[in-house]
Amino acid sequence: MRHIAFIPLLIIMLLTSGCTQNNGEIDPWFGTWRLESLTCDGEPSDDYHGQMTWSFQNNIICLVTDLGHHSYTQTWGTWAAPEGERKLLLDFDQHDDINGTNVYTPPSWLGFDGLQPTLTIVSQSSREMTLKLDNTTGSYLYCLKKIY
């Protein structure tokens, strides 16, 4: 008799379990991606040493730079990838009265031209993606690998 009472309880638990992705499905973007390599005009960037992750959730992006010794910086912005286009639109043109604009300004060594760069999606899967940015300072290639 105990086993029969357990079955409805199990069904209720399964039906009420929550989603881990707020505001719907954004795959393959959702999660945290490590910037595996950064090149400018085909040459590895002298300023990048494998210390950055990009996290996507809903329409928010957070770029985290590991500075070593348990120290890091975060850069916050918004993003969009219009359906049918091979573009990633980033927007770091945010500000507030408390923190100024530092938490919204990406590191200069990323090569973003301004606070609203548009990157071309060269390739994308659920585990890896390559993005490209052409601007006046060069042609940048960002290779990212999903870590979780």
pLDDT value at position 27?
A: 72
pLDDT of 4 strictly over 90: no
**What is the C-alpha separation between 131 and 47, in angstroms, rounded?**
18
pLDDT of 1 strictly over 70: no
pLDDT value at position 93?
A: 87
> Whose CA is closest to 111, among 52, 59, 30, 24?
52
User: CA torsion sign, 136 to 137 to 138 to 144?
Assistant: negative
pLDDT band at 104 (very low <50, low <70, confident <90, very high): confident
**CB neighbours (10 Å) of residue 110?**
20
**Under 8 Å CB-to-CB from 139, ≥6 apart: which residues?**
40, 41, 42, 132, 133
Q: Structure tokens of 54?
A: 């990009």
**Is pTM beyond 0.85 here?**
no
Summarize pLDDT for 8-66 with one digit per residue, the tens. Answer: 666 666 555 555 545 445 578 999 999 999 999 999 998 888 899 999 998 999 999 99
- Of 96 and 107, which is predicted with more confidence? 107
User: Which has the minimum average pLDDT: 35-39, 103-107, 121-125, 144-148?
Assistant: 103-107
Summarize pLDDT for 63-82 with one digit per residue, the tens. Answer: 999 988 888 889 999 999 99
pLDDT of 122 strictly over 80: yes
